[in-house]
Amino acid sequence: MKKIIFIAIVLLSFGVEKTFSQTTNTGVFTILPNTEVTVTKEFQNNAGAYLVNNGALYLNHHFTNNGTCTFDSQINDGTTYFVGTSMQEVAGKEASHFLNIVFDNTASDITYQLKNSVYVYGQVDFSMGIIYNDLFDGQFIFQEDADFINASNSSYVNGTVQKNGDTEFRFPIGKDGLLRSASISAPADIQDEIQATYFLENSNATHPHDLKAGIIDYVEPNEYWSISQQNGSSHVAITLTWDENTTSSHLLNAPKTSLHVLRWDGTQGFWVDEGGFVDEGNRSVTTVAEVSGYGVFTLGTIKEEHYLEGGLVVYNGVSPNGDGKNDFFFIDGIVNFPTNSVKIFNRWGVKVFETQGYNESDNVFNGTSEGRLTVNSNEKLPTGTYFYVLNYEVNNKTVKKSGYLYLNND
């Protein structure tokens, strides 16, 4: 049976002082399992004080932590409830560590102002109320295996969320009353720390949409996500979603097979294609593999006639002049499908190149006839149009693609 305690009953026992405007912990305040404690006024945990929640703590007003706020990991119990009908601040000079949190506040304006660092180790229940940390320099951090439920347009984090550890995660982020999650696959290392923020604005001013590589046709103008790695070196797959409330009509009306995840490549200074597996039921697009970098991401469309199953893109112009551009027959993404073969024929059907395990570095066609395939092997082939045949394994089946490439060897 749960014990229900109002803070006024336990003031002297736990070193807690109460004034008309706030409750202050100056000592060690431990909430035992199966015990409920309700604080109706502002609660301040002073420097040097300990707040240990192994039961249920209901906070009806502001919470300021300048000491230690934690739980007993051996007991592995304890839920903190931020409840009420007016705005609540979560502030203080020291980070607060919670096992479980329930946000359930019905204030109509800014519900929660997060002004310090909050670490969650168990579960967050986004029942009601939006947590604003973008305006108040707060940090919301999910530790390894931590997760959440019930995120919606009525309850999410308006700002940056960080996920630590090596588990897959969906970020409960959004803006202006709209939940706009982004998801990552599981990082390789438990030390990885990845942050995500959603922006309901046009990225064109800082990341020009006319600067785009390869087969990209259109860059979403209404919204984007920033996904950055704070610690670690793992690469992850990324999932973004579309929504009628935010996504442009151009993207909403485009063939869903043309939707891809795009990333701004800061080093090269243009948008690059990270591929896309579309899940229409969940209105989501997932990169075909782990992304090649972090930064700004959004959705876009590609020119479908150049796109192959599995996210491959064939660049059919070859000019091996040593300038670092189109120096070989480039099949973007082929390294993700090592079981492959490439054959190239000249206009008379004579095979001039053949290989297994084609890649993007040392096993490529660079305009030279290879091996025993032609009389003039290991010599530059003449400028002109050639015919390629590509076979590769994807999703336990063989895909065959043929087409033309143009070689400029002058």
Q: What is the pLDDT of residues 255-306, one digit of tens each?
A: 888 899 999 998 889 998 887 888 899 999 998 778 888 999 999 998 766 6
Tell whether 25 and 131 lie within a shared domain.
Answer: yes
Residues 109 and 94 in one domain: yes
Looking at residue 64, its pLDDT comes to 97
* Confidence check: pLDDT of 372 > 90: no
Query: 188 and 213: one domain?
Result: yes
Dihedral class, residue 349 (left if φ above 0, else alpha if ψ from -120 to 50, else beta): left
Residues whose CB is less than 8 angstroms from the CB of residue 232 and which lie 6 or more positions away in sequence, other chains included: 187, 189, 191, 192, 193, 194
What band does 321 get if pLDDT is binned at 50, 70 and 90?
A: confident
C-beta separation of 344 from 365 below 8 A: yes
Express as a percent the part of the chain with pLDDT over 90.
Answer: 62
Q: What is the residue type of 281?
A: G
SS3 readout for 107-142: CCCCCEEECCEEEECCEEEEEECCEECCCCCCEEEE
Q: Is the same domain home to 77 and 93?
A: yes
The domain tally of the chain equals: 2
Residues 393, 271 within the same domain? no
Picking from 271, 306, 341, the residue at the C-terminal end of a domain is 306
Q: Are residues 339 and 265 in the same domain?
A: no
Closest among 108, 271, 102, 274 to 182, alpha carbons compared: 274
Condensed to tens digits (0 to 9), the pLDDT of residues 106-129 reads 987 789 999 999 999 999 999 999
> Which regions of 316-394 does DSSP assign to beta strands (E)?
317-318, 330-332, 340-345, 351-356, 384-394
Question: Domain check: are 157 and 276 in the same one?
Answer: yes
Write down which residue in 240, 275, 306 finishes a domain.
306
The pLDDT, as a whole number, for residue 16 is: 60
Give me the domain span that covers residue 210. 3-306
Looking at the structure, tell me whether residues 23 and 124 fall in a common domain: yes
Average pLDDT in the 236-248 region?
A: 95
Residue 15 has pLDDT above 90, yes or no: no
| Residues 247 and 338 placed together within one structural domain of the fold | no
d(CA 6, CA 21): 16
Q: Are residues 123 and 140 in the same domain?
A: yes
Same domain (yes/no): 117, 227: yes
pLDDT of res. 297: 98
CATH number at residue 356: 2.60.40
The answer on 263 and 185 residing in a single domain is yes
